[in-house]
Amino acid sequence: MRTISSRSFTFAAIALLAFGVSAAAQDKSSIAPLSAPEVRQLVASALPADQLQLSAHFAALADRYTAQAKIHTSMAQQPVGNASRNLNSGLSAHCKKLAELNTEAVSTLRELQNHYRQLAAGKASVGPVAGAGFEAGAGAAKPTEKDMVRLAASAKTPADHQDLEAYFLALSKDYTAATTEHTAMAQAYRGLPRSPNAGMAAHCDRLARLSGEAATEAAAAAGLHHEMVAGSR
């Protein structure tokens, strides 16, 4: 098993952050990247068809990072409104660094693209060490409802249960955030003088309670999958 370096995880972090910059840039590739569970499943496969899918996936990611690099390079060259010279200089430096990281990621992704294409053709190939983070799912598309239902129905390996655990933990986090938001809105309505606001406060209280219960249930489901990780090893 290949050791995943801290350098690889740096790329993974950049992968997740950079994708939020431009939806337009994401449309540059005609092939949508796979989801993280799909990537991990295909990496574990030795079938040529699966390896070709991975090659296409990494090509799509490389196209997106190339677009991100162009965006950040352009942003580095543009002054920001009436910002001070020091602020503009700092922002430019950050954008240049992002462009460099994007470009470095593109290089790694092109190596992965070629690596899996070679494997699919039956040729010997060694993947880049820096690519381990991407092989683990960095930069991949968010799993769809269909993906998660299919995974829940077929989960057997520790990796499967880890994916489901992560899904339910994220769901619990979202519900917890909603609980906080609805609680704050209920308090705000109670602070207003008009009588109809009492009814709105009650509705927000109910939404807060339902969100809180959903957060608890999602966290419990995550805990069960955490236990299954250990049990399936």
pLDDT in tens, 168-216: 998 999 999 999 999 999 999 888 877 667 788 899 999 999 999 999 9
Instruction: Place 92 in a pLDDT band, splitting at 50, 70 and 90.
Output: confident
Tell me how many domains the chain contains: 2
Average pLDDT, the chain: 83
User: Residue 152 domain-assigned?
Assistant: no
**More confident: 46 or 85:** 46
Which range of 122-126, 150-154, 222-226 scores highest in mean pLDDT? It is 122-126
Residues 39, 67: one domain? yes
Q: What is the pLDDT of residues 18-52, one digit of tens each?
A: 444 333 334 444 467 888 888 988 999 999 999 99
Structural domain that includes position 98:
6-142
Residues 61, 171: one domain? no
User: Residue 173 domain-assigned?
Assistant: yes
Summarize the confidence of residues 120-149 as an average pLDDT: 90
pLDDT score for 147: 82
pLDDT score for 82: 64
Residues 66, 136: one domain? yes
126 near 115, Cβ under 8 Å? Answer: yes
Q: Provide the token pair at 148.
A: 């998660």
Residues 131, 179: one domain? no
Q: What is the pLDDT of residues 7-16, one digit of tens each?
A: 443 444 444 3
User: Residue 155 domain-assigned?
Assistant: no
pLDDT score for 232: 64
Among the residue ranges 21-25, 71-75, 100-104, 165-169, the one predicted with the least confidence is 21-25
User: Residue 150 domain-assigned?
Assistant: no
Instruction: Place 17 in a pLDDT band, splitting at 50, 70 and 90.
Output: very low
Residues 39, 99: one domain? yes
Residues 69, 167: one domain? no
User: Residue 37 domain-assigned?
Assistant: yes
pLDDT score for 12: 40
Residues 176, 127: one domain? no
Residues 41, 115: one domain? yes
User: Residue 175 domain-assigned?
Assistant: yes
Q: What is the pLDDT of residues 215-232, one digit of tens each?
A: 999 999 999 999 988 776
Summarize the confidence of residues 94-112 as an average pLDDT: 94
Residues 117, 210: one domain? no
User: Residue 153 domain-assigned?
Assistant: no
Residues 73, 181: one domain? no
